[in-house]
Structure 1
């Protein structure tokens, strides 16, 4: 078999698994998570509630939401007890790589499901590593708080406001699942071998760190910093496009129109009263970039994606830029663990075919 122009590469359009967890409609700009459109879900459900719905679908049976919230609080406390070992394993590593080592070091916890242990540990690890960079001691979790509020508290060493906790909760809901994205597919591949969920979550995290997947929010802020002021928007963007550079926070592999997650996160930013990046300035950058991209690449839809307002939201919440990817993983772990369980319950070993392009032996 030889490679030719009509051969599908990258698994585009190939159905690798059946899932009841989420659906992405790129043509309509619609994201459905656990049977509900994202906009409605973010307004009506907490991260713990969305996680419960995903896990219930994955297991094929109803799970108690109160038990999930309580379990996550316990899991954060249990993870904190293991921090000395995790911090030792990640000594000398930057936050993103240290979080990878921390996730890889996780294992079963007595009295907790593996899913609960993983999601509970994620913010504990991220917060401790982010604080270590600044010479600060880790902050012990408070099981009485919601997952988002306690994440902010452990990161910053102080209790968040209600608006801050609500904004981060909306973010965690928004990124909790997104169809068969690269990190979720990686987690499902590993789970399909009947490896445990800790291995699957580690694979998911590794895939998330790539700049073509979850690694672009920090460069969005670098772009906004470089533009600097309203007077520089047009000149900076035009020059960047003339050099063939990518505008961070625009374009998506699936969405042909605006990413629905961008609007949810823009609303969440509005809860914070203009803190961090000037929202009016960011909106002007977004508006000009969309017009400029449409002119420069008329045959390639490049609209605002989730990373543009992710960067602005996390900056407004005073989350260190180095922790952006681990905080993304804190939310996406709900999807990873649900997809891993669903794959093991309803799927089979994932083993796609390949197209050989080497030399045929004589």
Structure 2
């Protein structure tokens, strides 16, 4: 072996720009600030229901073709099935974080379940997430209403009462906005696991484990912490200036892929504005956003840092009543659409994902 043979010169840390899969599901163009979901620009999906995006993503991949209304009708009984399965297991989640609790409950979904696995996994997350959040608040889990749509029932199971139409629309917009986003870390994890033929549930649980990491799915809550710390409009400019002077990251700004504005932020900003009518928290957040962008542009002119999806995610989820500790689980409820679709696409490909690594460790001495 020679030093050249083990040289890392051609490796790609983080696999940036490495094509690892071909997909019909979504395309992220970071330079243009564009997200395409199966032929549709994200902003054109802003008023879709979650079930409609499920129909779009699952088309041609699921064993049976289903339109949005059929998916809506099938998810209701699947939520009831997940609730019955959860009831005896819920006490075992005590002492775990909310995402760890979701991981435990998802692990109870059996590979032998008769309900199509992509439907059951998608139905289960809001049931489990709502019950976990209520248990943390000292309240009993609320059984699902199979007659409702996914977003409406999610909020009803969380609060114990029917949600206002504008809240349902806002949550639908959120679930649609985060449904899929290229070959992100959790989606790639799901595809790797699916390529081994481990099955849908193992694949999406692996995806959730990747989402749990703070570099992927754990950022929306701290946005609200930042807004709370700033407190008043008079404090916006000095607080942000002091944070940047200390070299701190401003939560909700910058993205590894997008070099211009994150299109998901625009959709969610519109959702929050319709929900709150531009007043209160949203008006304050917009003032923080404007000042943060101005200071970032002045301090880091060669590094574009725009508002990302976490900034307005935090406002949407707060506005419809989710506690901060549950934000990652709500993200998983939306991203389950993409995870399940990618798993089915990978299973159809039928090829084990097995990349090479470049060895850079010590080599044995060769006897003369």
Instruction: Report TM bin, short chain.
Output: over 0.9
Gaps of at least 5 residues in structure 2 are 1-5
Partner of 1:357: 360
Deviation digits for residues 160-194 of structure 1 (CA, Å, limit 9, x no counterpart): 01111011001000000001011101111100111
Match of 1:3 among 3, 8, 16: 8
Secondary structure class of the residue paired with 1:32: strand
User: Is 57-66 or 94-103 further displaced after alignment?
Assistant: 57-66
- 1:10–1:146 Cα change, 3 Å: same
The separation in 2 between residues aligned to 1:121 and 1:277, in whole angstroms, is 34
Give 1:107 shift: 2.1
Give 1:60 shift: 8.6
Partner of 2:39: 35
Q: How does 1:1-362 map to 2 (within 5 A)?
A: 1-4=6-9, 7-43=11-47, 45-59=48-62, 62-108=65-111, 110-274=113-277, 278-362=281-365
User: Is 266-275 or 279-288 further displaced after alignment?
Assistant: 266-275
The separation in 1 between residues aligned to 2:148 and 2:278, in whole angstroms, is 23
Q: How many residues align?
A: 360
Secondary structure class of the residue paired with 2:28: strand
What TM-score do you get using the length of structure 1 for normalisation?
0.95
The separation in 2 between residues aligned to 1:275 and 1:37, in whole angstroms, is 25
User: Is 288-297 or 238-247 further displaced after alignment?
Assistant: 288-297
Q: CA RMSD in A?
A: 1.7
Give 1:64 shift: 3.0
The separation in 2 between residues aligned to 1:295 and 1:141, in whole angstroms, is 50
Give 1:351 shift: 1.4
Cα contact 2:276–2:282 (8 A) shared by 1: no
The separation in 1 between residues aligned to 2:284 and 2:364, in whole angstroms, is 61
Give 1:41 shift: 1.2
The separation in 2 between residues aligned to 1:173 and 1:337, in whole angstroms, is 14
Cα contact 1:108–1:117 (8 A) shared by 2: no
Deviation digits for residues 188-228 of structure 1 (CA, Å, limit 9, x no counterpart): 11001111100011011111111111110000000000011
Cα contact 2:122–2:333 (8 A) shared by 1: yes
Give 1:53 shift: 1.2
The separation in 1 between residues aligned to 2:289 and 2:176, in whole angstroms, is 23
Give 1:42 shift: 1.7
What TM-score do you get using the length of structure 2 for normalisation?
0.94
Secondary structure class of the residue paired with 2:179: coil
Secondary structure class of the residue paired with 2:181: coil
Cα contact 2:52–2:67 (8 A) shared by 1: no
User: Is 191-200 or 94-103 further displaced after alignment?
Assistant: 94-103
- 1:57–1:30 Cα change, 3 Å: farther
- 1:361–1:59 Cα change, 3 Å: same
The separation in 2 between residues aligned to 1:59 and 1:152, in whole angstroms, is 27
Give 1:353 shift: 1.7
Cα contact 2:187–2:342 (8 A) shared by 1: yes
Give 1:275 shift: 8.8
Gaps of at least 5 residues in structure 1 are none
Give 1:234 shift: 1.2
Cα contact 1:175–1:328 (8 A) shared by 2: yes
Which of the two has higher C-alpha Rg?
2
The separation in 2 between residues aligned to 1:323 and 1:229, in whole angstroms, is 26
Cα contact 1:56–1:62 (8 A) shared by 2: yes
Partner of 2:3: none
Give 1:272 shift: 1.5
Give 1:73 shift: 0.6
Cα contact 1:73–1:143 (8 A) shared by 2: yes
The separation in 1 between residues aligned to 2:273 and 2:297, in whole angstroms, is 27
Secondary structure class of the residue paired with 2:89: helix
The separation in 2 between residues aligned to 1:332 and 1:139, in whole angstroms, is 23
